[in-house]
């Protein structure tokens, strides 16, 4: 805020995600406390596309496009082996927008797991039973897992990263192990 005052800025544009906008809010509050006329403007830039009231954020479409490439590669691999399973893990700690958009756009995905919906693994309506049905029907399956999916099954580790976000367990690896044990 001292630098903003020294430069006599009328506007400060902050481009970024949650952390950047938390910082922008803190800067704005400090500017107000000092009665500075600086307007602090937040410009959302998060590939997760998880900001309310916005249709798209910078980077989201690129993330979806890259995820589609990975999904299509996994689908080719899955089709190349009898009962092959392509398993793709994509970004999405707390939101499954990348996973869902890429899954739908690719036209290849049989299962898409996102953090917004709890995952049922076992039982007739569970993921494993569905994968088994898909394999019986078309002899290959493609699964997309957003990185925050399945945490309710694995439990919280209680650790946080440098930004204060909870450290997530890798549900895709867990699912891979479960499928090897229970679908083989």
Catalytic positions: 48
Residues with Cβ within 8 Å of residue 61, at least 6 apart in sequence: none
CA distances from 176 to 22, 27, 92, 93, 104 (A): 37, 45, 19, 19, 22
- Please tell me the number of Cα atoms within 13 Å of 43 on its side-chain side: 7
CB 103 within 8 A of CB 110: no
Q: For the packed helices 97-106 and 60-79, what is the interaxial angle rounded to 10 degrees?
A: 50
Q: What Å distances lie between residue 156 and 4, 113, 126, 173, CA to CA?
A: 40, 18, 21, 16
Helix (H) or strand (E) holding 2: helix 2-7
Considering only CA atoms, give the Rg of the chain: 21
């Amino acid at each position: 805020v001292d630098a903003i005052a020294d430069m006599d800025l009328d506007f400060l544009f902050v481009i970024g995600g949650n952390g950047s906008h938390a910082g922008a809010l803190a800067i704005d509050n400090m500017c107000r406390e000092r009665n500075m006329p600086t307007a602090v403007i937040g410009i959302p830039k998060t590939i997760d596309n998880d900001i309310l009231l916005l249709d798209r954020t910078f980077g989201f479409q690129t993330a979806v496009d890259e995820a589609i490439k990975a999904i299509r590669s996994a689908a080719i691999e899955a089709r190349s082996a009898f009962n092959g399973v392509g398993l793709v893990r994509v970004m999405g700690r707390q939101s499954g927008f990348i996973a869902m958009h890429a899954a739908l756009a690719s036209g290849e995905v049989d299962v898409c797991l996102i953090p917004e919906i709890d995952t049922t693994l076992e039982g007739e309506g569970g993921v494993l039973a569905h994968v088994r049905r898909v394999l019986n029907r078309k002899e290959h399956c493609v699964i997309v897992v957003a990185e925050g999916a399945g945490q309710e099954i694995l439990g919280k580790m209680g650790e946080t990263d440098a930004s204060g976000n909870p450290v997530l367990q890798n549900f895709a690896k867990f699912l891979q192990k479960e499928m090897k044990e229970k679908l083989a």
